Amino acid sequence: MACKFACVYNYGARTPSSSLSRYTNQKRCRVYSIFIERIMCEIHVKASLKIGTLHYSENKFFIYLKLSIKCTYMRELLNQNALKYTRLKIEEVSNKAITLEPENTLLDARNTLLRFNISRIVIARNNKALGIITEKDISRILYAELQHRQFKEIRLDEVMNKNLIEVNEEKELKFCAKLMLEHNISSLLVLDEDSLLKGIVTKSDLVDSYAKHYANRKLVEDLVQKYMTKKVLTVGPDEPIHMALMLMTDNKVSRVVVTRNRKPVGTITGRDLLPISLLFGTGINGHRWHISEPAEARRREQILIPSGIKAIFLAMDVMKYDPITITSDSDLSEAAHIMMRNRISGIPVVDSDNILAGIITKTDIIKRLASDN
């Protein structure tokens, strides 16, 4: 009898007993249903079962068996849902692209980013994509460009990224994730059959779908600790934003964490720098910086000596205070939910003492999607 019970336990754990009648069209479920019913009929009310070192009465065993089957079924159902996610097409998650023309200025781009609460703008003419400008590009300009012109004097075709990666609507999300990682980009332009701009798909679109389709799987391989970045770029609250800009530009990242005593007290992203970008190329009260271009070039070569607005503002002046944090044993889908609900791209990971242990970003979730089998 114990042998038969062991068989029921092993086989039954794959199929939900509470839902067998709903899935009679599946051969495996029908076989398990008949097998379990026969074994139940043979059990005496006072019988007991020993599996390893665990003892179960008849009633307790079947309660345990039912719960075990149900949990296993839910895991299988969630895995099937995740598999469907990787097979989604771009057309199911992409959005209409916000565009500007090449003659528009960097000030127009800055204002549009803030108005629509987006992180990138496609530069196009006659529905043909020519380039793209992002928050990260503006951070780079703030750090690297000479401050002899204001944003309203810089045309987009001077600074836009012309290296565009384009896909058609029929590509699957896993393919998109791999393509983004391969080219170290955060968006893909979607073209129609005539090679005209149809839309855009971003890391946010992929992460949003991930949050919905991978929720509650609670698998060890989906924990934050496996995918988080342990090396975190940090600055102090009283350091000039020059340091934040330098770290973001040199490491090609979109954020730094502001820490005090190894505990996160804020974050700085490209979006946090947009408000002060209006002062780019100007001095106090709107006057130009009175410094020659050769002198500015020499100053720029000395990377630890900030100038202009990079010297005036401190990290505490632009950072977002009291950042949302997460622990390393949290589920990756939970991190995705937090990012999408709060419209952020990264979450500091802390230990039990609130000490910074890493950071989990949209890019890390994209890596999970790209590696999914």
Instruction: Note the maximum CA span of the chain.
Output: 96
Low-confidence residues in the chain, pLDDT < 70? 1-87, 145-147, 216-221, 281-310, 373
Give the single-character DSSP code of 314. B
Give the single-character DSSP code of 287. P
First to last CA, the chain: 39
The stretches of the chain forming alpha helices (DSSP H) are: 2-12, 27-42, 58-86, 106-116, 135-144, 156-159, 173-183, 203-213, 224-227, 241-251, 270-273, 293-301, 309-312, 315-318, 332-342, 362-371
pTM: 0.70
Token duo for residue 143 = 């750090």
Backbone phi, psi, residue 56, to 5°: -130, 140
Q: Which of 334, 330, 326, 333 is nearest to 354 (CA)?
A: 326
Residue 343 amino acid letter: R
Contact 169, 193 (CB under 8 A): no
Q: Is 261 left (phi over 0), alpha (psi -120 to 50) or beta?
A: left
CA torsion, ordered 229, 231, 236, 240, to nearest 10 deg: -90
Q: Which residue has the tokens 């009291």?
A: 322
Query: Residue 39 CA to chain centroid, in angstroms?
Result: 49
Residue 39 amino acid letter: I
The stretches of 87-166 forming alpha helices (DSSP H) are: 106-116, 135-144, 156-159
Dist. CA 205–CA 75, nearest whole Å: 24
Question: How big is the chain, counted in residues?
Answer: 373
Token duo for residue 34 = 């008949």
Q: Which of 281, 278, 291, 294 is nearest to 148 (CA)?
A: 281
Q: Which residues pair with 168 in a beta bridge?
A: 191
Dist. CA 318–CA 334, nearest whole Å: 27
352 contacts: CB under 8 Å, gap ≥ 6: 327
CA torsion, ordered 138, 141, 144, 146, to nearest 10 deg: -150
Contact 202, 187 (CB under 8 A): yes
Dist. CA 361–CA 351, nearest whole Å: 17
Please compute, for residue 231, the number of CA atoms within 13 A of its CA located in the half-sphere on the CB side.
3
In a 10 Å sphere around its CB, with 0-12 CB exposed, 13-18 middle and 19+ buried, how is residue 298 labelled? exposed
Q: Which residue has the tokens 């899935």?
A: 23
Residue 260 amino acid letter: R
Dist. CA 293–CA 296, nearest whole Å: 5
Dist. CA 156–CA 304, nearest whole Å: 29
